[in-house]
Amino acid sequence: MEEEEIDLDTGIRRIIRQEEPPPPPRNTNKMQDGRTRLRQGVSPFLPPPVVRAMSTLDPLLEPYVGPEASITLLTSLLVCVVLVPLLQSLVGTGTSTSKAYDDEEDDLKDMAMTAEDYGDTVILCGPMWAGKTRILYHLCHSKASMPTVMSLRANAALLPTINNNKEEDNQKPLRVLDYPGHSGLQDELFRELIQSSQQNSLRLILVVDSTQPLTTAADFLYDLLQYAHDNASSKPWPILVACHKSDLSSSKNPRRIKISLRTELEKLLQVQQMAEAAANNDDNDENNTNNKWWKPGTELDLDQLEYVKLKFVATTCNVGDGIDPIVEFCKHGTME
């Protein structure tokens, strides 16, 4: 900083330079006090080795991070862990979900256009987390231990057919389609797929987790039975109920699963009957009775279904021959 001064005796002007005062020191006491109070507050709840490590590292990191270095780093890491997923969800909500379903429709349209590349269709369906995708990899890629996640779109693969007859060596492979469990049969795409597959020999595999409650699986089977009734074909639909994860100690055997599914289906029939009676104010509506896959008021027998033929088998991907029943059903399409 410069100032001009005039000597009154001589009239000479002089320039006097004054040093600028140093900037006031930053008031970091409040920040340091807050971090110190935070450390003092959490220290009683931390294991002693962690407290000793913080005391050792703080002096070493202080020249680079500042006082209370461990608290500063942990707080910054926590903020990143919270904010990054939040930002990713905000950015991806509007684009990734819609794109996934658009891609699913495109993929299935492509598979329909290349139908000459395969023969019959095998559909793996059922509730989420039942093991459908892992069965697909085991069937078509011989990867029994492949880790999988919940599918958001349909997965498709080709399963070669094996025939002892040399004249049938050129037989087309099977298309195996793993359909996501969260979509259900309300998805028009799935309905169209089943309807188009009826032109050949459709093979449906309902995969249920034998270690879990069967309420969701019963909902799925109820929709299948109703849809088979509404779209009756010349012969019953063969549906293989794969009681998966049968190697686990908490799994239920196929007979018990069949009984549990029958009980859940009877409950759904009763609920549906009560809902329609309340809507129509007529419990004896013959038209509604004829539109059901099972006559209300009669004991349900899963072996006497008119439009569907069910078979219950135990399956697992953790044993060498654990999916043999599925392989036989895929290749032969019979319940024998």
Are the C-beta atoms of 207 and 244 separated by less than 8 Å?
yes
Q: Name residue 237's beta-bridge partners.
A: 308
- Amino acid letter for position 190: F
Are the C-beta atoms of 67 and 100 separated by less than 8 Å?
no
Helix pair angle (69-93, 48-65), 10° resolution: 90
At residue 99, the pLDDT reads 37
* CB-count exposure of residue 236 (10 Å: 0-12, 13-18, 19+): middle
Distance, C-alpha 310 to centroid of its chain: 27
Q: Which residue ranges form the domains of the chain, and what is each CATH number?
A: 49-83 (no CATH), 98-332 (3.40.50.300)
Helix pair angle (254-280, 215-230), 10° resolution: 60
Q: How many of the other CB atoms lie within 10 Å of CB of 229?
A: 17
At residue 120, the pLDDT reads 80
Residue 44 has pLDDT above 90, yes or no: no
How far CA 277 is from CA of 265, 286, 287, in Å, comes to 18, 11, 12
> What pLDDT, in 10s, does the model give residues 96-111?
333 333 444 454 454 5
Question: Rounded to an integer, what distance in angstroms lies between the CA atom of residue 228 and that of residue 245?
Answer: 27
At residue 319, the pLDDT reads 79
Nearest to 264 by CA among 206, 210, 228, 213: 213
SS3 call for 257? helix
Strand bridging mode 174-178 / 203-209: unpaired
At residue 197, the pLDDT reads 63
Please give the full DSSP string across 268-293, using - where no structure is assigned.
HHHHHHHHHHHHHT-TT-HHHHHTSS
pTM metric for this prediction: 0.63
At residue 237, the pLDDT reads 83
> What pLDDT, in 10s, does the model give residues 281-290?
655 555 555 6
Are the C-beta atoms of 135 and 124 separated by less than 8 Å?
yes
Are the C-beta atoms of 263 and 286 separated by less than 8 Å?
no
